[in-house]
Amino acid sequence: MKLTKSLQSSKGQSLTELALITPIFLILALGIFDYGRVYFAYVSVTNGARTGADYAAANCDASCDAADIMGIRSAVVAETSELLNTSPTNPTVNVNTGGWFGPDHRNVDVTVNYTFSTLIPWPGLPNTMNVERTVRARVRE
């Protein structure tokens, strides 16, 4: 009889421990998931900026015109299409063609800025953050 009573109290203790630990594991799992999403956004923004710079290097001449800039933006948007919360204004793409890259070579800077939103509001942390990357490429003369 003592053995049965001991097993029943052991089951109750296990359920209590599980009830106390489950919220901690869920918060930890959501934090890991959000961190993975931020890392994925950073990689996607980096790849988008590189793709835009590659497009500019292949298609722009000494000064990019409006059609070239729209092509750069289209290349970046296609590369970052798997990001969540995308819209016509997120990510933003800025193209700067004003610099020199060594003697007699023009460059173009492609900056991609994406506003990342967390899944849940984390206490003490911002709910949104900007993920930004700039890539410089040399354009043909």
| Contact in structure between 76 and 52 (CB atoms under 8 Å) | yes
Q: 28-78: per-residue pLDDT in tens?
A: 999 899 999 999 999 999 999 999 999 888 887 766 777 788 888 999 999
Tokens at residue 48, please?
């988008």
* 99: phi then psi, degrees, rounded to nearest 5: -105, 170
Task: Let me know the angle formed at the C-alpha of 113 by 95 and 29, rounded to the nearest 5 degrees.
Answer: 155
Query: For residues 131 and 68, what is the distance between their CA atoms, to the nearest angstrom?
Result: 24
pLDDT in tens, 89-104: 889 999 887 666 566 6
The predicted model scores a pTM of 0.79
